[in-house]
Amino acid sequence: MTMIGLEIHCQLTNLKSKLFCSCKANYREFEINENICPICMGLPGSLPRLNQEAVKKATIIAMALNCSTPEKIAFFRKNYFYPDSPKNFQTTQLNIYGDTSVGGSGSIMVGDKKIRITRIQLEEDPGRLIYEGSSSKNQITLVDYNRAGTPLVEIVTEPDFETPKEVRDFLNILSDILTNLGVADPSLEGAMRADANVSIEGGKKVEIKNIGSFHDLEKATHFEITRQESLHSRDIEIIQETRHWDDKRKITVSSRSKEEELDYRYFLEGDIPWIKMDPEIHKKLQTQMPESISSKKERYISKYNIPAQVADVLSPDKYYSDLFEESHNDSNAKEVANIITTDLMGLVDTREKREASKFTATHLKELADSIQSGKISRNSSKNALHEILKTGKDLETVIAELDLGNVSDESELSGIITQVIQEESQAVEQAKSNPQTINYLVGKVMQKTKGKADPVLTLELLKNRLESNG
């Protein structure tokens, strides 16, 4: 039986500042070593100043994953030497003196399967190493500390995954949850990373590190399972070790074990007292939590009669569910959801496009209302949507400029219907025996009106004509 566990690191980039200092949490826009201060550089005499909001956000994540949340949390030092770590220790969380990390055991459903969370901890990201030079002779290591001290939440799961696909599904669900909570933006480069551990047939656990993306994670776990199964089938022992994912060769490789063993000499961080998290705080945070994805889905279906597949697509997408909330009312909710899922999502898909989008909640509301009232046909609404996306102009203006308004004037329509009947005598004949042919004729009317004919009225008028023409 294959067992896969995950260690996910997620940056809390929605925070304004780093975990222990007031430098910016999202380091991506800065010049090299511009987003630093004595604290995140670990200068002599500097002391950490824990970010209150980071503790709250991490606790909210723990609650969203159904984890226990202790009444006192503590920080520890993990001591090791590496150039990306200015203090040569990482301030992190552990549970060696009882439960002191921000979240204890919890669980989350992936489809029908329950995935158990072991713990959630708050810790700091190190800086970034940049290698220059091609050969190992002239290679130099450069360090950028802009990222050092960025708040991270580490989520550790039990080895409950059995297939790489389950892993992938879980990560997608987790991404959606974190985005929905407003605590992180997993789509930012490097904002969410994961390591995996894999074992088969209850054998030794192999850790896999250095996995760049979720796509790679699926590949890496798949490779590792295959590798272990191959060894197992030949009765070769699977060694407990750490391997790293070689992205070029798409394989896991044994990490040359460093001569120094990893003795982290963990002990309590003396510069940070234990933080009291009374039940009052937990209650307050609970009320401040945004609506969960599953609750939204429920509400869309039961309150607005939105079809389950539409609700399924809309509820986990924070950007669009927020847009939905702003644009809908009780009567147009279904139409709003429809426009979003059918048209908008496909057009405004990337983060850049979303950021640049001129399509507002007002646009969406007016569009939905116009379709419902028959002012504009669904076909025309798609043209209107494209135009608004391009120009940002309001709906009224677009309808006028592009002449998209429905033709609902009976006499106008009758005139066009007359034309069509004259031109399509063959179809008219066929319509007598095959009633479905009338749709072809409706289509012709639509063509002539550039899609603006009121389809319901057109069909009615056509039917009457054909009957009367006998």
Partner 1 sequence: MNLKISALDYIQEVKTGNISAEDFVAATIERIQSVDDKLHAFLSVNDKAIDQAREIDKKIKSGQKVGDCFGMPISIKDNMCIKDSKTTCASKMLEDFVAPYDATVITELKQQDAIFIGKANMDEFAMGLTTEFSAYGPSKNPWNLDYVPGGSSGGSAVSVSAFECIASLGSDTGGSVRNPASFCSTVGYKPTYGLISRYGLISYANSIEQIGPFTRTVKDTAFMLNLIAGLDPNDNTTVDNKNEDYLSGIDVGIEGKKIGIIKEMMGEGIAPEVLSATKDAIAKLEGLGAICEEISLDMVKYSVAAYYTITATEAGSNLARYDNLRYGYDFPLEGYEFNSYISKARRKFGPEVTRRMIIGGFVPSAGHAGKYFLKALKVKSKLTKEINEAFQKFDFLIAPTVPILPFKIGEKIDDPISLFLVDINTVTANLTGKPAISIPYSISNGLPIGIQLIADSMNDKSLLQAAYALEQTVQLPEVPI
Partner 2 sequence: MVSEEEIEHVSKLMRIEVDDHKEYVEKVHMMIDYFDILDSAGVDSEEISMPEIALSNLREDEHIPFDDKLIEKLNHYKGTYVRAPKMSS
* Residue 372 CA, distance from chain mean position: 31
On the CB side of 447, CA atoms within 13 Å amount to 9
Residue 52 CB, nearest approach to partner 1 (Å): 11
Distance (Å, rounded) from C-alpha 148 to C-alpha 40?
Answer: 6
Distance (Å, rounded) from C-alpha 33 to C-alpha 144?
Answer: 5
Q: Which stretch binds partner 2 (CB under 8 A): 54-62, 103-111, 178-186, 320-328?
A: 54-62
415 touching partner 2, by CB under 8 A: no
For residue 139, with 0-12 CB atoms within 10 Å meaning exposed, 13-18 middle and 19 or more buried, which class applies?
Answer: exposed
Site mask, partner 1, residues 14-43, x = CB under 8 A?
A: ------------------------x--xxx
146 or 406: CB nearest partner 2: 146
Q: Would you say how long the chain is, in residues?
A: 470
Contact 107, 66 (CB under 8 A): yes
365 binds, among partner 2, partner 1, none (CB under 5 to 8 A by kind): none
On the CB side of 49, CA atoms within 13 Å amount to 10
Residue 265 corresponds to which tokens in the numbers above? 């000499």
Contacts to partner 2 from residues 419-438, by CB under 8 A: none
Q: Tell me which of 132, 235, 237, 260 binds partner 1, using CB under 8 A.
A: 260
Q: Which stretch binds partner 2 (CB under 8 A): 138-146, 161-169, 225-233, 333-341?
A: 138-146
189 or 259: CB nearest partner 1: 259
Q: Tell me which of 231, 275, 402, 459 binds partner 2, using CB under 8 A.
A: 275
35 binds, among partner 2, partner 1, none (CB under 5 to 8 A by kind): partner 2
Q: Tell me which of 123, 124, 144, 366 binds partner 2, using CB under 8 A.
A: 144
267 touching partner 1, by CB under 8 A: yes
Residue 81 CB, nearest approach to partner 1 (Å): 6
Contacts of the segment 27-34: beta carbons below 8 A, 24+ positions apart: 27/146, 27/147, 27/150, 28/188, 28/189, 30/146, 32/144, 32/146, 33/144, 33/145, 33/146, 34/146
Max Cα–Cα distance, the chain, nearest Å: 98
Contacts to partner 1 from residues 122-151, by CB under 8 A: 141, 143
Residues forming the site for partner 1 (CB under 8 A): 38, 41-50, 77, 79, 81, 83, 86-89, 141, 143, 260, 263, 265-268, 270-273
